[in-house]
Amino acid sequence: MFDLPSFDAHEGVHVFHDDKTGLRAVIAIHSTALGPAAGGCRMWDYVDSQAMVRDALRLSQGMSYKNAMADLPLGGGKSVIWGNAKTDKSPDLFRAFGRAVESLSGNYWTAEDVGLTPQDLEYAREETRYVAGLTSGAAASGDPSPVTAEGAYRGIRAALLADTGSDELEGRSIAVQGVGHVGANIVRKLRREGATVYIADIAADAVSDLANETGAIPVGVDEILFREVDVVSPNALGGVLNSDTIAKLNCRIVAGAANNQLFAPEMGDELAARSILYAPDYVINGGGIINVAAEISGNYDEDWVECKLSSLIDTLRDVFERSKSEGRATHRIADEIARSRIAAARR
């Protein structure tokens, strides 16, 4: 494990097993330099335990960077539960997971990620207070998607400003891949400002409903990334930017909320080589974790969320400016800023 690239000086990697419920979980804590580690819990049917550990490390390192870029008093961590989210869940499994979180005495806060529901977290909450993203309770912040969408929308405008000198949306065209919780809200905001918006989703009903509501133009899922537009906005899956797709892009900017858009870090360099401005995903989609951080603070405050969101967009603008002046890809600059913020806090 120490030799894996994503080990990256993790402070701790905790392995849990509960005989009674069958829980097999890993909680990885990359860094607590900026505050308690925070990051969601993913339930996935991994092929083996190595894959499970690798995923936990990669995601936990990513949360450190995301939280640092959002200037939150939070470090980075993530948990993974090995199992099929459709068939292996039980209330007791999540209570056992809650006890695992509790055993770390607040060094790690969990929340929802792929495979988990708010109800699963409610069971974990019975055993530990270190659970965020709840839908009930005094400090509950509810669904973070609207804040994520607002951040991504402002990020798209910041990218347009950096690339073209104007963030005016009238007369611009944007292709939005995925119109779920985040994507649909981005589309509404863009349409309100007069942009031409193309949309695609494997859920046909979601596309037709949103097209009727907003006047966005439906296109096929296989063509959305390759439309001739100003901005491509990925809001569905990770890994959509690979050598094949990058070669076929017909846009000047890629800016969307999907996590892990780059299939590999070098893909960010390929985008830069094609002079396509890339908004690093873990910066532009930081609105959701800002919302969760407000809940962790114990006192959800909308003004604080707004303040953090606007400073996140300032950081994104810095990334664009430095990328231009230093002639280096945006994802490299963002990684560097995140690492230096964490290192400064460590010192």
Residues with active-site annotation: 78
Is 268 a binding residue for ligand NAD by CB under 6 A? The answer is: no
The count of chain residues that interact with ligand NAD, using the rule CB under 6 A, is: 25
Segment near ligand NAD (CB under 6 A); pick from 1-9, 42-50, 230-238, 268-276: 230-238
- Out of 98, 253, 288, 313, which residue is the one contacting ligand NAD (CB under 6 A)? 288
**Taking the complex as a whole, how short is the minimal distance between the CB of residue 94 and ligand NAD, in angstroms?**
20
CA angle 15, 32, 149 (to 5 degrees): 95
- Which range in 31-39, 133-141, 144-152, 338-346 contacts ligand NAD by CB under 6 A? 144-152
Token pair belonging to 70: 């959002």
Q: Does 200 bind ligand NAD (CB under 6 A)?
A: yes
235 and 179 in contact (C-beta within 8 Å)?
yes
One of 201, 230, 270, 295 touching ligand NAD (CB under 6 A): 201
Q: Which two tokens stand for residue 169?
A: 């949306």
The stretch among 98-106, 173-181, 302-310, 326-334 that binds ligand NAD (CB under 6 A) is 173-181
Q: DSSP string of 67-121?
A: HHHTT-S-EEEEEEEES-TTTS--HHHHHHHHHHHHTTTTSEEB-B-TT--HHHH
- Cα diameter, the chain: 60
Helical H segments across 255-301, by residue range: 266-273, 281-284, 287-296
Which of 4, 9, 202, 344 touches ligand NAD by CB under 6 A? 202
Residue 63 CB, nearest distance to ligand NAD (Å)? 11
Instruction: Choose among 286, 315, 66, 331: nearest CA to 182.
Output: 286
If one asks whether residue 182 binds ligand NAD (CB under 6 A), the answer comes out as yes
Token pair for residue 120? Answer: 């699963």
Q: Tell which one of 12, 22, 142, 180 touches ligand NAD (CB under 6 A).
A: 180
Question: For the chain, where are the alpha helices, taking DSSP H only?
Answer: 49-69, 91-102, 118-125, 145-164, 181-192, 204-214, 243-248, 266-273, 281-284, 287-296, 302-326, 330-346
Q: Should residue 144 be labelled a site residue for ligand NAD when binding is judged by CB under 6 A?
A: yes
Tokens standing for residue 104 = 């770390």
Radius of gyration of the chain (CA): 20
Q: Is 259 in the site for ligand NAD (CB under 6 A)?
A: yes
Answer yes or no whether residue 233 interacts with ligand NAD by CB under 6 A. no
- 235 contributes a contact to ligand NAD by CB under 6 A: yes
- DSSP annotation of 30 reads E
Closest among 21, 6, 18 to 53, alpha carbons compared: 6
237 or 264: whose CB is closer to ligand NAD?
Answer: 237
- Evaluate whether 36 touches 72 at the Cβ level (below 8 Å): no
Cα 240 off chain centre by: 14
Q: How far is the CB of 183 from ligand NAD (least distance, A)?
A: 6
Among 31, 60, 79, 177, indicate the residue that binds ligand NAD (CB under 6 A).
177
Selected from 62, 75, 178, 268, the binder of ligand NAD by CB under 6 A is: 178
Among residues 145, 214, 315, 323, which is the contact residue for ligand NAD, using CB under 6 A? Answer: 145
- CB 106 to ligand NAD: min, Å: 23
Q: With CB under 6 A as the contact rule, which of the stretches 18-26, 77-85, 253-261, 301-309 interacts with ligand NAD? A: 253-261
Query: Binding ligand NAD by CB under 6 A: which of 56, 186, 257, 284?
Result: 257
Helix (H, G, I), strand (E, B) or coil at 305: helix
User: Which residues would be at the binding site for ligand NAD (CB under 6 A)?
Assistant: 144-145, 148, 177-183, 200-203, 206, 221, 235-238, 257-259, 285, 288
